[in-house]
Amino acid sequence: MLRKGTVAGLGAALTGLFTNLAWAEDATYTLVIENDYVFNMDRDYSSGFQLDYVSPAKTQRDGLTGYLAFNVLRADNDDPVRKRIALGQYIFIPEDTSGPGTPVGQHPYAGFLYGTYGVLAEKGDDRLDSFHVQVGVTGDPSQGQEVQNVFHNAFGDDEAQGWDTQLDTEIAFAATYDTARKVKLFEWGNLESEIIGNAGASVGTLLTQGHVGANWRLGFDLADDWGPTKLYPYSSAGQWNNVNWASGYVYLGATGRVVARDLFLDGNTFASSSSVDKEALVADWFAGWAVQVGVAQVSFTYQERGKSFETQDSPHKTASVNLSFAL
C-alpha cells in the first residue's frame, strides 16, 4: 500500500515533469492540413499540407539566420531569434472536374510543391517580426494530380479529368515580411484577452501582395503564442512556447489583401496557360480554437476566403488543423 507521503511526492513529481516540459526552450514541430472537403466544396484551393520546423530561440548572430535577423529584421543583440524550415504542397482545381480541360472562368488546375526558409525575431513580449522565402515548382513535378487521386480513390470519389491542362512546370518564389503586435485587453486571473495585429507584404513570381489583419483571442494562459499556422496565401509564425503546462483559447480574425500577382490565378509567368481575372482586393476571415497540454498543441480553424477571381461563384471555405509538438 502506498503511503500518503509517497502519493503526494509522486503527484509533485508529475506536476514538475509537465511544468518542466512546457517551460523547456525546445524546437517546435508542426503538421498543418487544410482542406475544403469537409464543406463539400472541392474546388479552387482544394487542399494543402505542410511539415514545419521552428528551432529553439537563440541570440547569437551567426550564419544565414543571424544575418537575416540582424540586417533584414533589424533584431537587437538580445532579441530571441528562431529559424524556420517547412515543406509542403498546395492543390488547386476548377469547380467542374468531370470533363477534359479547364472550364472557362473557373480556377486553373495547379499543384505546387515547395520549401520555405524563415527567420522569426521576438522584440519584447508584444512584437514578432518574420521574414520567409518560399520556393517551389508547379506542373507534373509538383505531384498534385497523383496526391489528389490517392485521396479521391480512398474516399470513393471520381478522379478529376482535366489535369492535362494544369499550369506548366515552373520554379516560382515569394519573399514575405510580416510584423505582428499584441495588445492586452484584460487579464482576470488565468483568463486573458488580447488582439494581435499584423501587416506585411509578399514579392515574387509566386505571389505579390500586401496584407493587413487582426485577430482577437480569449483563453487561459495565452503566454508566448502567436496563433495557429495558416497556409496559402499566408506565412504565419508557426511557433509557440507556452510557459504553462496547459492552455487554451478561442479566436476570431480577418485579413485584407491587395493582390498584384497570384501565380495560381494569373497563370504561368513565362508561358501561356489557363488563367482567370483575379480580384485585386480580397477580404478573408477565420475563427477557431487551440488547446495545449504539456508538449503538445492541437488547433482547428475555419477559414473563409473572399472571392479571389471575378467569375468565382462564392467565397471559399477551408478547414485547417494543426498538430504541434515542442520537443
The answer to whether residue 31 sits within a structural domain is: yes
Backbone angles phi, psi at 149, to 5 degrees: -65, -35
The answer to whether residue 4 sits within a structural domain is: no
Q: Render the burial of 4-13: b for 16+ CB within 10 Å, e for the rest.
A: eeeeeeeeee
d(CA 138, CA 154): 24
Residues 6 or more apart in contact with residue 13 via CB below 8 angstroms: none
The answer to whether residue 12 sits within a structural domain is: no
The answer to whether residue 56 sits within a structural domain is: yes
Tens digits of residue pLDDT in 143-199:
999 999 888 888 778 888 999 999 999 999 999 999 999 999 999 988 999 999 999
Confidence of residue 227 (pLDDT cuts 50, 70, 90): confident
Domain hosting residue 276, numbered range:
25-326
CATH number at residue 315: 2.40.128.140
Tens digits of residue pLDDT in 85-108:
999 999 999 999 988 889 999 999
Residue-level length of the chain: 327
> Residue 325 is placed in which grid cell?
509538438
The answer to whether residue 180 sits within a structural domain is: yes
pTM: 0.88
Other beta carbons less than 10 A from residue 154's beta carbon:
8
First vs last Cα of the chain: how many Å apart?
35
Residues 6 or more apart in contact with residue 189 via CB below 8 angstroms: none
Tens digits of residue pLDDT in 76-90:
988 999 999 999 999
The answer to whether residue 92 sits within a structural domain is: yes
Structural domain count, the chain: 1
At 5, the amino acid letter reads G
The candidate with the shortest Cα–Cα distance to 85, out of 55, 117, 58, is 117
The answer to whether residue 216 sits within a structural domain is: yes
The answer to whether residue 42 sits within a structural domain is: yes
Res 284: pLDDT: 95
Q: Does residue 327 have a pLDDT over 50?
A: yes
